[in-house]
Structure 1
Amino acid sequence: MLAGFAPGAEHAMIGTHALSGRRVSPQAIADWYARLFRLLPDIRFDLRRIEVSGPPWATIATVVWRETNSATDGVRTSATGMHVVHIAWGRMTRLVILTDTAKLEATLRRIAAKGTAEALAAPIADGPDRP
C-alpha cells in the first residue's frame, strides 16, 4: 500500500478517534497503517463499486467497500465506507477515508475497555486538520 503513494501525498480519515486525522509524511502514513493492523489485525475489504474519472495526471477514483474485522478481542464487526483517491501518473497523491465513524468508535471503545489502550490514543497526524 505504501508504495502506491506519491512523494508529498496526503492521507486522511474523518472522525475524532485513534485512526482519524491527516498525515502528510511517509512515516506518519506508515505509522497509521501499522496502527490500523494492530487494532484490526484481520481487517478485510469487499469492494462494492469503483468509479474512475479524469486524465492520468489528475485522476479521481472512488471505492465503495464493506469491511469486516475481529479487532483485538475477537468480536466480529463490519462497516461500510468509501475511499476517495486522487491519482497522478499511477500514484496516489491524496487518499481520504470516509466510514461509519459511530461503528468504528464503538469498536475502538470496546477493545480499549478490554485492554487495548492504543484504541483510544491520539490520532497519528502531522498535517493540518482538514480532510
Structure 2
Amino acid sequence: MYKRIVRAKIRAVFESINDGDYMPMVDGLAPSFEYRFHGEHALGGRRTSRESMIRWWQRVSALLPGARFDLQDILVDGGPWRTRVAVRSYVSGDLPGGLRYENTVFQFITLVWGRVTSVETVEDLQILQRALRAVADSGKPEALARPISD
C-alpha cells in the first residue's frame, strides 16, 4: 500500500510539471537535500537550496518550454523512514527550427518520511547538449550557460 501511495505521488508531481507547475516538486524537498543533474551544461550541476531549485526550474522552463515527461517505470523500495525510488521517463518537446527533443531520463530519488532528500538525474547528454545548442543558436544564450549550483 505504501509503495502505491509513493508511486501515485511521483506521478502527480510529474503531471504538475507537465502542466507547467514545478512548485509541487520544489515543495516536496526536505529542508536539507541534494539535487544532482549529471553533466557540465546549462541544466547540470548540484543544488542544495530551494532558491537554486526555483532558479533551475525557471531555466528549464525558459530553455525547454512545453517539455513533457511520459513516465515509463517507477520502482519503489523501502519504508517511510528511507524510501528509494527509481524513475525512467521519456521526455520530449519542440525545439526551435522545427526540431524535436526526445530523450530518456533516469532519476534516483531518496525520500525520508515523505520528503525528498536526494535526486540524481541522468540522461543521454549528447542528445541534451544538441538540444541546448539548438536553443542557443535560436537566440537564447542561457542554453550554454554554466550550471546553477550551490
**TM-score for both structures, normalised by structure 2:** 0.81
**Structure with larger RCO (C-alpha < 8 A, sep 6+):** 1
Within 5 A, what are the aligned runs for 1:86-105?
86-105=110-129
CA contact (8 A) 1:15 1:101 kept: yes
- SS of residue in 1 equivalent to 2:74: strand
Percent of aligned positions with the same letter in both sequences? Answer: 39
CA RMSD, aligned part only?
A: 1.1
Unaligned runs of 5+ in 2: 1-24
Classify the secondary structure of the residue corresponding to 1:54: strand
**Structure-2 residue corresponding to 1:51:** 75
Q: CA deviation at 1:73?
A: 5.0
Q: TM-score, normalised by structure 1?
A: 0.92
1:115 equivalent in structure 2 = 139
Q: Which of 38, 42, 45 is residue 21 of structure 1 equivalent to? A: 45
Q: Find the counterpart in structure 1 of residue 66 from structure 2.
A: 42
Q: Is the 8 A contact 1:72 1:116 kept in 2?
A: no
Could you list the runs of 5+ residues in structure 1 that have no partner in the other structure?
Answer: 127-131
**Residues 95 and 134 of structure 2 are in contact (CA less than 8 Å); yes or no, is this contact kept in structure 1?**
no
Structure 1 stretches of 4+ with a deviation exceeding 3 A read 71-74
Q: Compare the two structures and name the one with the higher helix fraction.
A: 2
1-structure distance, mates of 2:37, 2:68: 17
Equivalent pairs, count: 126
Read off the aligned partner of 1:82 and give its amino acid letter: F
